[in-house]
Amino acid sequence: MSAAPAIAARTVAREKGNAFPVTVVCLCILLAWYIAAIPMNWVITGPKIDAAGGGLANVLSFSWNDARPVIPAPHQIAAELWKSVFTVAPWSVKSLLYHGWVTLSSTLLGFVLGSLLGVALAIAIVHVKFLAKSLMPWIIASQTIPILAIAPMVIVVLGSIGFTGLVPKSLISMYLCFFPVTIGMVKGLTSPEVMQLDLMRTYHASVNQVLWKLRFPASVPFLFTSLKVAVAIALTGAIVGELPTGAIAGIGARLLQGSYYGQTVQIWAALFMGSFLAAALVWLVGVAERFTLRRMGVKP
Amino acid sequence: MAGPVISARELSLVFQTADAPVYALSKVNLEVEDGDFVSFIGPSGCGKTTLLRVIADLEQATSGSITVNGMTPQEARLKRAYGYVFQAPALYPWRTVERNVGLPLEIMGLDNASERIARNLELVNLKGFEKKYPWQLSGGMQQRVSIARALAFDPKLLLMDEPFGALDEIVRDKLNQQLLELWDRTKKTVVFVTHSIPEAVFLSSKIVVMSPRPGRIIDVIDTNLPRNRTLDIRETPEFLALAHRVREGLKAGHSYED
């Protein structure tokens, strides 16, 4: 079998081929960021630079190292991230890991609830004809309401009946993330070909058998595509849900605190933490997707 | 079994379309006896697939009567009286060969699944491919899996809708030969839709020649060729005479047009 090493070599080559453009794009963004930081921070740093006597060295050092800049330089964000992740105890309120975990826990609960709701709605819509026409407009309307407008209402109303903390935030995540799952799964559950469905009819298969032996397996690729979108917006939902709670804990709380006190470096560090979380979640769904599809014998 | 397996009387099916009704089947009369190999042959639009789908209760006639094993097609379908082979294999890609063949057994809750699967895969010469996924097989092999799947629950009647239409001639010849052996060995009743004259003559004990607009039967030919024939029979005068008669029938049908 001489073909196997050849294929392996080609795969490695392709991955190596990816690394170069990715690095170049990252470097370009960093470069643009550093350059843009100079004019953007000028309102704050301009007088200080003048006082120090001007010169390129002063321009660079003041523009890129101010404690409360309009836009912090990348190394400042990296330093803040390092400080708030590695130099403080993970359970302290100063730790981004703590805040990340608070957000992550309500994200995950909301994601699970939203995915279940999304799949359940899709199954109902596919099986009951009138639901497709009567339910779909409401589902679409639900997503046209700005979440920022209803999140505080949800939090306040639930808070008044004793639900605080995790659950209200999760409900906002759920509200946002069921939608792509419903849309994707309706498509997926109706994806089997006419012949595959006719085959079930010739067997006199029950509705349940058609669902679990044909419709559901056929919808799996659609499910994972939807879940990737859903998990990312579940995180957004959780962060938005943290904003109106008076900013106690979570990435959203960090963002709000940062903007109260003009701590732009802290805001950006929290933003990056949120992005890392989102990327990790989407990546995990991708891993689950590859594993599941391989188990299902999909052509690699 | 007493009485015909399939009996159609004055069977008609009209599709209502936006501009004009389409007469897919018009006053079809047909008897299929137990153990027959019956081919429906005709150009596209002659209603051959529609007739097969009416027998399978995938389509409902608008007038006339039809019985399958003495029952309505619906009762026959609910009793799982037939195995159906489609134009395409229609395998479930997430199931291995053996689990595809086992699908009807799972649905019907039949036991001895592994023994039935093994026996039917052997019948279509696919022993050793149990763990393969459909994409790992050629088109001809996939269609053989779908035949094994149709036979898995041992129906007495096999309905086949142009099963080899998408395959090349060499593969088709081979599968025709195998299908004939399978018919001879299992003594099943087969109803087979095709638009290939040699295929129809080679396989059938009875050829039903059909014609379009409206879809109808214009000739029914009993072939009386020996049950265990080989591909060589296609060179014999009897075979050529039958093929000629089918061709004449198809021509006569076409002369109705325009």
Chain B residue numbers touching A193 (CB-CB < 8 A): 90
Residues of chain B above pLDDT 90, percent: 74
State whether residue B92 sits within 8 Å of chain A by CB: yes
Per CB-CB distance under 8 Å, the chain A contacts of B95 are 297
CB contact under 8 A, A296 and B94: yes
Who among A195, A204, A213 is closest to B78 (CB)? A204
Cβ neighbours of A199 in B, within 8 Å: 84, 86, 90
Domain with CATH 1.10.3720.10 in chain A: 96-295
Per-residue tokens: B59: 């389509």
On chain A, the residues whose CB falls within 8 A of the CB of B83 are 202
Retrieve residue B240's tokens: 């050529």
Residues in a beta bridge with B219: B209
Mean pLDDT of A170-177: 92
If you average pLDDT over residues B52-58, what whole number do you get?
Answer: 96
B92:A297 CB<8 A: no
- The pLDDT assigned to A3 comes to 47
Separation in Å, CA A267 to CA A70, A72, A211, A262: 11, 10, 47, 9
Q: In the predicted model, what is the mean pLDDT of residues B130-153? A: 94
Of the two residues A227 and B2, the one the predictor is more confident about is A227
Residues of B in contact with A214 (CB under 8 A): 92
Query: Chain A residue with minimal CA distance to B100?
Result: A213
pLDDT at A14 over 70: no
Residue B142, pLDDT above cutoff 90: yes
For chain B, how many residues are written?
Answer: 258
Q: With an 8 Å Cβ cutoff, are B82 and A202 in contact?
A: yes
CA-closest candidate to residue B246, choices B215, B206, B214, B189: B206
For residue A12, count CB atoms less than 10 angstroms from its CB and return exposed for 0-12, middle for 13-18, buried for 19 or more: exposed
Strand-pair category, B22-32 with B6-15:
antiparallel
- Indicate the fold that domain A96-295 takes in CATH: MetI-like fold (1.10.3720)
Looking at chain B, which residue has its C-alpha nearest residue A212? B107
Q: Which of A202, A204, A297 sits opposite B94 (nearest CB)?
A: A297
Give the pLDDT band of residue A12 (cuts 50, 70, 90). low
Give the gyration radius of chain B's Cα atoms. Answer: 18
The pLDDT of A1-30, averaged and rounded, is 70
- Which numeric CATH code is attached to B6-81+156-254? 3.40.50.300
Q: Quote the CA–CA distance of A146 and B114 in Å, as a whole number.
A: 56
> Which residues make up the CATH 3.40.50.300 domain(s) of chain B?
6-81+156-254
Residue in chain A lying closest to B87 (CA): A195
Instruction: Give the tokens for residue A237.
Output: 């939902």
Residue in B57, B83, B107 nearest the CB of A209: B107
Q: In this predicted model, what pLDDT tens digit does every residue of A257-276 receive, in sequence order?
A: 888 888 899 999 999 999 99
Chain segment B230-252, per-residue pLDDT in tens: 888 888 999 999 999 999 988 88
Chain B residues closer than 8 Å to A217 by CB: 92, 94
Q: Give contacts of A209 with chain B, Cβ < 8 Å.
A: 107
| Average pLDDT value for residue range A240-261 | 83
Tell me: pLDDT of A176 over 60: yes
pLDDT digits (tens, 9 = 90+) for B13-47: 999 888 888 899 999 999 999 999 999 999 888 99
The shortest CB-CB distance from A193 to any of B57, B90, B94 is to B90
* Contact assignment for B77 to A193 by CB distance below 8 Å: no
Instruction: Tell if the CB–CB gap between A299 and B108 is shorter than 8 Å.
Output: no
B86 touches chain A (CB under 8 A): yes
Mean pLDDT rounded to a whole number for chain A: 89
Task: Sort out which chain B residues have CB atoms less than 8 A from A205's CB and list them.
Answer: 107
Nearest Cα of chain B lies from the Cα of A86 at a distance, in angstroms, of 45
B 96-115 residues inside an 8 A Cβ radius of A: 96, 103-104, 106-108
Q: What is the pLDDT of residues A189-244, one digit of tens each?
A: 999 999 999 999 999 999 999 999 999 999 999 999 999 999 999 999 999 888 87
Flag whether pLDDT at A108 surpasses 80.
Answer: yes
| Strand, coil or helix: A272 | helix
Q: Cα distance from B96 to chain A (closest Cα, Å)?
A: 8
Task: Give the A-side interface with B, CB within 8 Å.
Answer: 193, 195-196, 198-205, 209, 213-214, 217-218, 220, 296-299
User: Helices (DSSP H) in chain A: which residue ranges?
Assistant: 3-40, 42-51, 56-65, 74-86, 96-127, 129-144, 147-160, 166-189, 194-202, 207-210, 216-242, 251-260, 264-295
Residue B257 has pLDDT above 80, yes or no: no
Percent residues over pLDDT 90 in chain A: 61
Give exposure, B144-157, as e/b (b: 16+ Cβ within 10 Å). bbbbbbbbbbebbb
